[in-house]
Structure 1
Amino acid sequence: MVKILWVDDEVELLKPHVLFLTQKGYEVDTCNNGYDAIDMASEGAYDLIILDEMMPGMTGLETLPKIKEVRPTTPVIMVTKSEEENIMDKAVGSKIADYLIKPVNPNQVLLSIKKNVHQQQLVTEQTTADYRSEFGRITSSLQLAETFQDWCSIYRRLTGWEIELSESSDRSIREVLSYQSVEANQEFCKFVRRNYYNWINRRTEDTPTMSHTLMRTKIFPVADENPKTTLLLIDNFRYDQWRSISSLLRGYYDVVQDDFYCAILPTATQYARNAVFAGLMPLAIDKLMPQKWLNDNEEGGKNQYEEEFLRRLMQQNGKQWRFSFDKLVRPEQGRKLVDNIQKVYDADFSVIVYNFLDILSHARTETDIIRELTEDDAAFRSLTRSWFEHSDLYTILKLLSERGHTVVITSDHGTVRVDNPVKVTGDRETSANLRYKTGRNLAYNSREVYEVLNPKDIQLPSSNLTSSYIFAYNSDFLIYNNDANRHIRYYRNTFQHGGISMQEMIVPYIVLKPKQ
């Protein structure tokens, strides 16, 4: 039973309220002064305290901090006859849970109690009911989805429900959502398998914006329309992570576009990010600039020429903007950019590549404590928000808002938590990525992967004449037979990228306008 302490010097006037709350199932104790209230709060475990502000001897505002000393987590509702703003400011500043002005009616009090004592239960019940009614509509959408935009809509809805239900105490409804998300990803993988070849080779009218067309179709037009534009590309950034940080930017920016584009395969930095900045598929990069493309089996950095690629693309498209490019991999680079933010201010079009989430994903694989901190997607979102809130990147975005910069936030690909091992075999030159493999002598079950026997069919380079590619679906990860059990234990439940899933391929594209 919920226990309430009600403190008011006119305690005899509380009898109708106490009777009403007792009939609703609450246990209510009363007292008529602040001194007794402090003693009773010290001795009794109350779920809520209702405190009158205007009391003789010790006022409610004087009593409040004393109660907070002994019961720091107990919500306190302040009741007063005064509507003076300074009284309200002091009460709110003292971290009260709610503020009621006399005369109060019983239903007002009941609503405040429900809001402060039963909120999680009520939210869980309502959210569960809302999702149950939505479940059938989403299931129908899976069967009717015919375009990439249809799948973006489904992904948006599922992500929204995942966030809504992440704090629900109803474990069974979270499991239902998890099953529906798995089903959706399975259907999305079939959709990609049917359409990817036609998208890459422009054989269909509803080809989505993809990595190699992103700059020309979405980003350059924004920079054309705005005198100062900053592109922020956060590696491994997913839509749910955008949702986790978006509220922090609400005071600085208006979201004028909340959209998606489609990452190319493999959904890996070497391929997808080079394609974004070059405006070309990897095969074309390899042919036109062979000295600037390294295949998976070749030693060396795979993303060393992004700025050069982008300058070339801008020149080809007649963009004569003043331009800056920064890639931030280590924390000190973020602090250095804050100190040298003038270079970004001066540029018409500035690009900032931020690698933290990619580093965090790899750290989660390799570090036990990071695994514990990010045991599931909800925890990964929470860690993303915590990082962003205290990051130099957040500082940079606030500074850019002050200077009137339009900001485009996107990524080169997302990441997916893997849990189902799929065994393959290959020679020593086979690529190491867990979500795709490329090499000469790959052996696998063709029903378990998306296979591309001729890489040129989807505009990918080959390390040799007989190379092929395979891509993992959904939450699968590709494991060699040698020492398979150890690798399965090590990599299961880690975040990986390179394959086919909604999380990896449906990439957020956000346009922010600074608030005036």
Structure 2
Amino acid sequence: MNKTRILWADDEIVMLKPHIIFLEEKGFEVEAVNSGSEALEKLSEEHFDIIFLDEQMPGLSGIEVLEKIKEIQPGLPVVMITKSEEESIMEEAIGSNIADYLIKPVKPSQILLSLKRNLENKKLTSEKATQNYQQEFREISMRLQDRLSFEEWEDVYKKLVYWDLELEKSEDEGVSEILNMQLAEANTAFSKFYERNYYNWLHGKTEEKPVLSHTLLKEKLFPHLENSRKLFLFVIDNLRYDQWKTIEPMIAEYFRIESDELYYSILPTTTQYARNALFAGLMPLEIRKRFPHYWKDEQEEGTKNQFEAELFGELLKRYGKKTRFSYNKILRQEEGRKLAENITNLMDYDLNVIVFNFVDMLSHARTEMEIIRELADDEPAYRSLMKSWFEHSSLFEMIKYLSDKHVKMMITTDHGSVRVQNPVKIVGDRNVNTNLRYKFGKSLNYNSRDVFEMKDPEQFFLPKLNVSTRWVFARSADFFAYPNNYNYYARYYSNTFQHGGISLQEALIPFVTLNSKL
């Protein structure tokens, strides 16, 4: 195993010989130089894992050397060592992204502690995350054997997402595999739970029922409409809970998080059905019957979600809400930039609804574009890509602008997505819809054990286009594939992110309430 290499620059390096010997006895390799210019020369010729840098040296100062190091190797940890405790020097060094700051005279134990903090922190964090998950694994497994309520499922999913994010820090691939297996087990149990209760939830046959797509705004948004604060509702299409937790720290710098909740998407977990239901406060069949001019069936041409503002207006009217609201849908980057530039105009409204379609487009692009598939090869990479978009998005610009205004903000979505892996055979005619996670038609052929089947879709408030129309939904990580070219499509769509079916990732989705810190 290669030794950790330390570059130590100090004009009194001779005085530090005992420290260097101490480190060498501990197994480190130390290269000692007398000036900043020598340090930069060594750095250009050799590899080092960390640098100890004296702040006060003749010639190039420690701060000047630090700036040059960050230009050459921005990720290289630099520990600044100084005799001075002046606040301005500390602020300048910290602002230049140092890894640590030590005041002379330093003790060997301080040096060793700094090395452990900066070089072994990742390893120690990894080991701690693995150890903690192993302790909780058994508890989660036991809970999955119970007959959980909808609130308990929310709690289990939050725990699994927490460990998914924590174990990103782990270098132990084995424990990540165990988590994936536990998530698959949870999805199997959750699918059974969802299927067992879905009909009763829709028909009010049980007092214990979750917030669903068509009840979300009435239950979670309406109570805030009479508040004196302006209200902003951001709907980020296809935002999973783990993706929300990835961007949460950035938003928490600007807003105080009042509540972080999950609600249940209806079936199908797709934009056409779940988001129309969200804005209308009605199930798809009810929208189709009550507002036929605002509804398009799947076989019809044209956009299926072009009347969300009108449906939301009808929802407000139905409940006697006279709220002045604006509605904006962002499909392209320039639209978002233009809205961000004119956001002051939105302050005239009591409620502003803004829909962002980026994550959904990312999901589809990942399926269809090889380069996106490579960039988002797995769950952490997919989250990272989404985080990168958010960090540079007009959405984040708007959030930062609103942070010093007296506003309340809500962030939610219409459905999530799941990474599919298991093809399930299905046969249908040319009129069957193309979605990989749900199918409907009059001549479907499938193994009923492999799907959640709706023989009479109208009982689930879904359109029945003819007498023999059936709907079927894929569970967990399954996806539908036709027998023709089965192997090709099974390979092509495996490991892509899809939505429409039943899984924790698709159906349990975030609704977050935030307050400005004023």
- What band does the TM-score fall into relative to the shorter chain? over 0.9
Report the Cα distance in structure 1 between the residues aligned to 2:32 and 2:147, rounded to whole angstroms.
60
> Which residue pairs with 2:460 in the alignment?
458
Report the Cα distance in structure 2 between the residues aligned to 1:67 and 1:193, rounded to whole angstroms.
59
Q: Is the 1:297–1:463 contact (alpha carbons within 8 Å) kept by the matching residues of 2?
A: no
Q: Give CA-to-partner distance per residue, 1:364-407, whole Å, 9 cap, x none.
A: 11111111111111111111111111111111222222322211
Deviates more, 1:64-73 or 1:282-291: 64-73
Structure 1 residue 55 displacement after superposition: 3.3
> Which residue pairs with 1:480 in the alignment?
482
Note closer, same or farther for the CA distance 1:4–1:145 as it changes in structure 2 (3 Å cut): farther
Report the Cα distance in structure 1 between the residues aligned to 2:68 and 2:331, rounded to whole angstroms.
48
Report the Cα distance in structure 2 between the residues aligned to 1:36 and 1:208, rounded to whole angstroms.
66
> Which residue pairs with 2:135 in the alignment?
133
Structure 1 residue 62 displacement after superposition: 4.0
> Which residue pairs with 1:195 in the alignment?
197
Report the Cα distance in structure 2 between the residues aligned to 1:67 and 1:334, rounded to whole angstroms.
37
Report the Cα distance in structure 1 between the residues aligned to 2:73 and 2:317, rounded to whole angstroms.
65
Note closer, same or farther for the CA distance 1:135–1:87 as it changes in structure 2 (3 Å cut): same
Is 2:235 the partner of 1:233? yes
Report the Cα distance in structure 2 between the residues aligned to 1:365 and 1:252, rounded to whole angstroms.
34
SS in 2 for 1:146: coil
> Which residue pairs with 1:152 in the alignment?
154
Report the Cα distance in structure 2 between the residues aligned to 1:105 and 1:56, rounded to whole angstroms.
23
Report the Cα distance in structure 1 between the residues aligned to 2:513 and 2:157, rounded to whole angstroms.
19
Q: Is the 1:259–1:509 contact (alpha carbons within 8 Å) kept by the matching residues of 2?
A: yes
Report the Cα distance in structure 1 between the residues aligned to 2:70 and 2:305, rounded to whole angstroms.
55
Deviates more, 1:392-401 or 1:315-324: 392-401
Q: Is the 1:216–1:279 contact (alpha carbons within 8 Å) kept by the matching residues of 2?
A: yes
TM-score of the aligned structures, taking structure 1 as reference length:
0.95
> Which residue pairs with 1:501 in the alignment?
503
> Which residue pairs with 2:316 in the alignment?
314
Deviates more, 1:187-196 or 1:285-294: 285-294
Specify the code of the residue in structure 2 equivalent to 1:311.
Answer: G
Q: Is the 1:236–1:357 contact (alpha carbons within 8 Å) kept by the matching residues of 2?
A: yes
Q: Give CA-to-partner distance per residue, 1:298-347, whole Å, 9 cap, x none.
A: 33322122111111111111211111111111222212212332332111
Report the Cα distance in structure 1 between the residues aligned to 2:68 and 2:335, rounded to whole angstroms.
46
Q: Give CA-to-partner distance per residue, 1:420-444, whole Å, 9 cap, x none.
A: 1101111222221110011111111
Note closer, same or farther for the CA distance 1:97–1:318 as it changes in structure 2 (3 Å cut): same
TM-score of the aligned structures, taking structure 2 as reference length:
0.95
Specify the code of the residue in structure 2 equivalent to 1:479.
Answer: A
Percent of residue pairs bearing the same amino acid type? 50
Q: Is the 1:324–1:343 contact (alpha carbons within 8 Å) kept by the matching residues of 2?
A: no
Structure 1 residue 266 displacement after superposition: 0.7
Note closer, same or farther for the CA distance 1:66–1:320 as it changes in structure 2 (3 Å cut): closer
Note closer, same or farther for the CA distance 1:148–1:88 as it changes in structure 2 (3 Å cut): same
Q: Is the 2:420–2:497 contact (alpha carbons within 8 Å) kept by the matching residues of 1?
A: yes
Note closer, same or farther for the CA distance 1:145–1:379 as it changes in structure 2 (3 Å cut): farther
Specify the code of the residue in structure 1 equivalent to 2:407.
Answer: H
Report the Cα distance in structure 1 between the residues aligned to 2:428 and 2:245, rounded to whole angstroms.
39
Q: Is the 1:145–1:151 contact (alpha carbons within 8 Å) kept by the matching residues of 2?
A: no
> Which residue pairs with 2:472 in the alignment?
470
> Which residue pairs with 1:443 in the alignment?
445
Structure 1 residue 511 displacement after superposition: 0.7
State how 1:166-205 maps to structure 2 within 5 Å. Answer: 166-205=168-207
SS in 2 for 1:324: strand
Structure 1 residue 226 displacement after superposition: 4.6
Note closer, same or farther for the CA distance 1:394–1:145 as it changes in structure 2 (3 Å cut): farther
Deviates more, 1:430-439 or 1:299-308: 299-308
> Which residue pairs with 2:352 in the alignment?
350
> Which residue pairs with 2:394 in the alignment?
392
Equivalent position to 2:274, from 250, 272, 275: 272
Report the Cα distance in structure 1 between the residues aligned to 2:424 and 2:408, rounded to whole angstroms.
44
Equivalent position to 1:338, from 318, 332, 340: 340
Q: Unpaired segments of 5 or more residues in structure 1?
A: none
The alignment yields a C-alpha RMSD, in angstroms, of 1.9
> Which residue pairs with 2:369 in the alignment?
367
Q: Is the 2:125–2:169 contact (alpha carbons within 8 Å) kept by the matching residues of 1?
A: no
SS in 2 for 1:144: coil
Report the Cα distance in structure 1 between the residues aligned to 2:72 and 2:201, rounded to whole angstroms.
64
Note closer, same or farther for the CA distance 1:67–1:290 as it changes in structure 2 (3 Å cut): closer
Q: Is the 1:3–1:28 contact (alpha carbons within 8 Å) kept by the matching residues of 2?
A: yes
Is 2:33 the partner of 1:4? no
Report the Cα distance in structure 2 between the residues aligned to 1:101 and 1:399, rounded to whole angstroms.
40
Q: Is the 2:232–2:351 contact (alpha carbons within 8 Å) kept by the matching residues of 1?
A: yes
Report the Cα distance in structure 2 between the residues aligned to 1:427 and 1:34, rounded to whole angstroms.
74
Q: Is the 2:229–2:406 contact (alpha carbons within 8 Å) kept by the matching residues of 1?
A: no
Structure 1 residue 95 displacement after superposition: 3.0
Q: Unpaired segments of 5 or more residues in structure 2?
A: none
SS in 1 for 2:162: helix
SS in 1 for 2:32: strand
SS in 2 for 1:225: coil
SS in 1 for 2:322: coil
Q: Give CA-to-partner distance per residue, 1:112-156, whole Å, 9 cap, x none.
A: 112222222222112111111121121122123511111111111
Q: Is the 2:473–2:500 contact (alpha carbons within 8 Å) kept by the matching residues of 1?
A: yes
Note closer, same or farther for the CA distance 1:34–1:486 as it changes in structure 2 (3 Å cut): closer
Q: Is the 2:129–2:169 contact (alpha carbons within 8 Å) kept by the matching residues of 1?
A: no
Structure 1 residue 39 displacement after superposition: 4.1
Q: Is the 1:361–1:495 contact (alpha carbons within 8 Å) kept by the matching residues of 2?
A: yes
Specify the code of the residue in structure 1 equivalent to 2:235.
Answer: L
SS in 1 for 2:403: helix
Note closer, same or farther for the CA distance 1:43–1:300 as it changes in structure 2 (3 Å cut): closer
Deviates more, 1:487-496 or 1:413-422: 487-496
Structure 1 residue 215 displacement after superposition: 1.0
Structure 1 residue 251 displacement after superposition: 2.2
Is 2:346 the partner of 1:323? no
Note closer, same or farther for the CA distance 1:426–1:226 as it changes in structure 2 (3 Å cut): farther
Structure 1 residue 246 displacement after superposition: 1.4
Q: Kindly tell me the number of residue pairs found equivalent between the two proteins.
A: 516
Specify the code of the residue in structure 2 equivalent to 1:116.
Answer: N
> Which residue pairs with 2:492 in the alignment?
490
SS in 2 for 1:14: helix
Q: Give CA-to-partner distance per residue, 1:31-57, whole Å, 9 cap, x none.
A: 444344344444442221212223345
Structure 1 residue 294 displacement after superposition: 2.4
Q: Give CA-to-partner distance per residue, 1:213-265, whole Å, 9 cap, x none.
A: 00111111133335211111111111111112112212211111100100001
> Which residue pairs with 2:63 in the alignment?
61
State how 1:89-108 maps to structure 2 within 5 Å. Answer: 89-108=91-110
Specify the code of the residue in structure 1 equivalent to 2:274.
Answer: A
Structure 1 residue 168 displacement after superposition: 2.5
